[in-house]
């Protein structure tokens, strides 16, 4: 994005104040991001992303898919052979249930990871090295995707007034 | 004045903070991010002499194991002490033992996360790494045991040239699914909270190293959205992984319990094995933490309080283990069924009695008093107890497997077992392998979760949730 403003704050508290002011000035929640080296809980969480996480739902869906795959693998392959072992039925729910359980968990685990990577918007454009270093040193970075040129000036004004080093 | 974050009285951390009387702590003085980064990233950024010594020694031990394995492959498994009727011995004992050790990490870490135990923060990654490496070693032994390890892929669920699939009713195939699910889940559970710390290392690296850590950190930036999603995913993973961990050792126990063999065909084998696994796992975790603490000078992060709390867990598990063992042996003795009684006698007063009583001493008689008394529950005390427990639990695994096989129901067929040097060196080699893997991990990745540690120190910025550490009254470890 061309009109992106980056600002480094010494403390997360200052960055939070600037973020809130930017929002009050009409910047959309999705266009202002606060980056830090540790999670900040509380009010900040409400404004930064309007969407609810669907990781839990995906975990359940992944579990169901894993279970269905396990049922298919065990039941279909056993039926294709029709070989009795240990006096057990060809499709033995007690024994196959264990494999179904493990594959349910596996499906849930893999889909949790996949959905988390998607929702967290990983693999996006890298930050400039100085921002990366600043975050590592415990500073906070505010990233504003300002849209048009006028908004860039407004964002820079707020960030500078709040004590940021605007890049 | 000396600082104190996680424990109230006399400890210090990083030269910050102050003594507090309250059991609910908030923090005003705290080490800077730079200080924490410096301490916790030091093992990754700099190579110390302690690390080199650890790698060389463990590497040599591992090499000895490799040579023993190569000898076994070239000569066949006749070089082991296995014989009729003892077809399983050291290799399967090692399998059960290492799978048990793997319960240290992911399970304990997940339980502590789910219950919100604040003191877990410096401990979790040490524990999770143990799981991954112990599982790798444990899962290796069924392959070693095959005799022709290059045919290991026959274990995987795929049809052979005649279109026959593996028998899913076999507990050995349950193992395949359970161990692989747990291994994959544990790797992901280790990796997820590692991502922000990988970004931290990326920020401090240059050139190729920066590129590699950039890839590994998946382009992590630290937006609040990313933090929120990461924490959510870790929470969900913690909930999923607990039943998987329990299932793994339960299924390992069913390798034995599903057979109608005396002293194997027991309904309590599942929970008995799980309890033993957690027991030996915590002991291994304490040992790993003590070594890391010393080698990387992390005394301010892995503190007496953590050893004290893990020591209390170990004490609880010691009592649970004793309860299960007593219940198992009492019912055998009282039932007086001849085939079971023969095995019972061989353990309690026969050829295996030194090992049996050694197990009781190592798993109960020595650790109990050390862990029960607060004055003895120091770092040194918990380490001594843990060494005994790890040794005792290996003996326990051996005693479950070998005496039963040596005493089949028909007495004309009884046999005995003596290990050969190949088996002993293979066993010792696995310890070298484990330490080597762990040492390499600590060189590549921060062994204490940096962001989790920072998150736990509070106070948060205005408008954000204040982190408070609620401590149990017992969590008052003294300085080391």
Q: Decide if B461 and A40 are in contact by the 8 Å CB cutoff.
A: yes
Contacts of B177 (CB under 8 A, 6+ apart): A98, A99, A102, A103
User: What digits encode the pLDDT tens for the residues A54-103?
Assistant: 999 999 999 999 999 999 999 999 998 888 988 999 999 999 999 999 99
- Residue B221 reports pLDDT greater than 80: yes
Average pLDDT, chain B: 87
Could you tell me if B139 and B100 are in contact, meaning their C-beta atoms sit under 8 angstroms apart?
Answer: no
In this prediction, residues B13-19 reach a mean pLDDT of 32
User: What digits encode the pLDDT tens for the residues B17-53?
Assistant: 333 333 333 334 567 788 888 889 999 998 989 899 9
User: What digits encode the pLDDT tens for the residues B150-184?
Assistant: 988 888 888 888 888 889 999 999 999 999 999 99
- Predicted confidence at residue A2, as pLDDT, reads 59
List CB contacts (< 8 A) between A59 and chain B: 236, 240
The residues that bridge with A145 in the sheet, in sequence order, are A4
- Predicted confidence at residue A43, as pLDDT, reads 62
**Where do the H-state alpha helices sit in B76-194?**
90-101, 106-114, 124-145, 171-191
User: How many angstroms away from the CA of A150 is the closest CA of chain B?
Assistant: 25
The residues that bridge with B117 in the sheet, in sequence order, are none
User: What's the complex ipTM?
Assistant: 0.92
Cis peptide before B459 (omega within 30 of 0): yes
Query: Residue B170's closest chain A neighbor by CA?
Result: A95
Q: Decide if A40 and B165 are in contact by the 8 Å CB cutoff.
A: no
d(C-alpha B211, C-alpha B217), whole Å: 10
- Predicted confidence at residue A26, as pLDDT, reads 86
Could you tell me if A105 and B243 are in contact, meaning their C-beta atoms sit under 8 angstroms apart?
Answer: yes
**B333 falls in which pLDDT band (50, 70, 90)?**
very high
d(C-alpha B55, C-alpha B69), whole Å: 20
- Residue A47 reports pLDDT greater than 60: no
Q: Is B170 exposed, middle or buried (CB count within 10 Å of its CB: 0-12, 13-18, 19+)?
A: middle
B374-379 contacts at long range (C-beta below 8 A, 24 or more positions apart): B374/B308, B377/B307, B377/B308, B377/B311, B377/B312, B378/B304, B378/B307, B378/B478, B378/B480, B379/B290, B379/B293, B379/B304, B379/B307, B379/B480
- pTM across the whole model: 0.88
Contacts of B318 (CB under 8 A, 6+ apart): B279, B363, B364, B367, B368, B371, B389
Task: Please choose, from the candidates B125, B184, B229, the residue with its C-alpha nearest in 3D space to the C-alpha of residue B445.
Answer: B125
Could you tell me if B279 and B324 are in contact, meaning their C-beta atoms sit under 8 angstroms apart?
Answer: no
User: What digits encode the pLDDT tens for the residues B341-379?
Assistant: 999 999 999 999 999 999 999 999 999 999 999 999 999
Q: Decide if A77 and B230 are in contact by the 8 Å CB cutoff.
A: no
List CB contacts (< 8 A) between B454 and chain A: 37-38, 138
Span between the terminal Cα atoms of chain A, in Å: 15
Contacts of B112 (CB under 8 A, 6+ apart): B120, B123, B124
List CB contacts (< 8 A) between B251 and chain A: 98
- Residue B463 reports pLDDT greater than 60: no
> Which of A35-39, B42-46, B246-250, B294-298 has the largest mean confidence?
B246-250
Which residue out of A8, A11, A32, A36 would a mutagenesis test of the B interface target, given it has the greatest number of B Cβ atoms within 10 Å?
A36
d(C-alpha B260, C-alpha B248), whole Å: 21
d(C-alpha B351, C-alpha B191), whole Å: 46
- Predicted confidence at residue A44, as pLDDT, reads 60
Task: Please choose, from the candidates B181, B183, B178, B389, the residue with its C-alpha nearest in 3D space to the C-alpha of residue B285.
Answer: B389
Contacts of B316 (CB under 8 A, 6+ apart): none
């Amino acid at each position: 994005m061309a009109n992106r403003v980056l600002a480094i704050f010494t403390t997360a508290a200052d960055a939070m104040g600037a973020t809130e002011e930017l929002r009050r000035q009409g910047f959309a929640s999705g266009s202002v991001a606060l980056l830090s080296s540790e999670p900040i809980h509380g009010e900040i969480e409400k404004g930064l992303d309007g969407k609810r996480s669907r990781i839990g739902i995906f975990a359940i869906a992944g579990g169901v898919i894993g279970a269905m795959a396990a049922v298919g693998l065990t039941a279909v392959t056993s039926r294709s052979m029709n070989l009795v072992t240990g006096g057990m039925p060809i499709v033995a729910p007690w024994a196959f249930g264990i494999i179904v359980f493990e594959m349910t968990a596996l499906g849930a685990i893999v889909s949790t990871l996949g959905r988390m990577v998607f929702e967290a918007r990983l693999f996006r454009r890298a930050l400039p090295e100085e921002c990366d270093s600043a975050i590592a040193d415990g500073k906070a970075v505010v990233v504003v995707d300002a849209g048009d040129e006028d908004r860039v000036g407004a964002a820079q004004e707020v960030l500078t007034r709040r004590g940021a080093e605007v890049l | 004045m000396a600082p104190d974050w996680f424990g109230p009285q006399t400890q210090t951390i990083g030269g910050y903070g102050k003594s507090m009387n309250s059991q609910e702590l908030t923090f005003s003085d705290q080490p800077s991010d730079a200080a924490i980064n410096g301490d916790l990233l030091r093992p990754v950024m700099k190579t110390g002499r302690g690390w080199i010594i650890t790698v060389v020694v463990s590497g040599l031990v591992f090499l000895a194991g490799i040579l023993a394995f190569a000898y076994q492959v070239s000569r066949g498994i006749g070089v082991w002490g296995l014989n009729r009727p003892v077809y399983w011995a050291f290799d399967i004992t090692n399998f059960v033992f290492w799978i048990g050790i793997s319960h240290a990490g992911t399970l304990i870490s997940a339980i502590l996360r789910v219950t919100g135990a604040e003191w877990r923060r410096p401990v979790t990654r040490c524990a999770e790494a143990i799981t991954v490496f112990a599982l790798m070693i444990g899962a290796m032994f069924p392959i070693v045991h095959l005799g022709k390890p290059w045919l290991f892929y026959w274990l995987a669920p795929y049809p052979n040239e005649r279109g026959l699939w593996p028998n899913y009713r076999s507990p050995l195939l349950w193992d395949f699914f359970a161990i692989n699910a747990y291994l994959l889940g544990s790797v992901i559970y280790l990796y997820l909270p590692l991502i922000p710390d990988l970004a931290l290392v990326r920020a401090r690296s240059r050139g190729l190293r920066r590129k590699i850590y950039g890839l590994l950190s998946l382009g992590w930036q630290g937006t609040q959205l990313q933090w929120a999603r990461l924490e959510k995913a870790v929470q969900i993973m913690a909930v999923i992984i607990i039943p998987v961990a329990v299932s793994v050792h339960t299924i390992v126990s069913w390798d034995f319990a599903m057979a109608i063999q005396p002293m194997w065909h027991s309904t309590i084998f599942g929970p008995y094995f799980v309890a033993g696994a957690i027991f030996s796992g915590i002991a291994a975790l304490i040992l790993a933490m003590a070594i890391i603490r010393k080698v990387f000078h992390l005394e301010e992060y892995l503190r007496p309080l953590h050893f004290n709390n893990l020591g209390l867990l170990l004490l609880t598990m010691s009592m649970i283990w004793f309860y299960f063992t007593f219940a198992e042996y009492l019912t055998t003795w009282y039932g007086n069924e001849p085939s079971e009684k023969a095995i019972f006698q061989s353990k309690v007063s026969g050829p295996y009695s030194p090992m049996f009583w050694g197990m009781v001493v190592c798993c109960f008689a020595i650790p109990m008093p050390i862990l029960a008394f607060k004055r003895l529950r120091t770092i040194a005390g918990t380490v001594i107890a843990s060494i005994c427990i790890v040794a005792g639990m290996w003996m326990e695994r051996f005693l479950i497997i070998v005496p039963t096989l040596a005493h089949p129901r028909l007495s004309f067929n009884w046999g005995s077992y003596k290990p050969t040097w190949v088996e002993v060196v293979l066993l010792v080699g696995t310890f070298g392998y484990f330490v080597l893997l762990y040492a390499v991990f600590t060189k590549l990745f921060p062994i204490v979760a940096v962001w989790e540690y920072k998150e736990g120190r509070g106070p948060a910025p205005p408008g954000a949730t204040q982190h408070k550490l609620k401590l149990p009254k017992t969590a008052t470890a003294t300085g080391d």
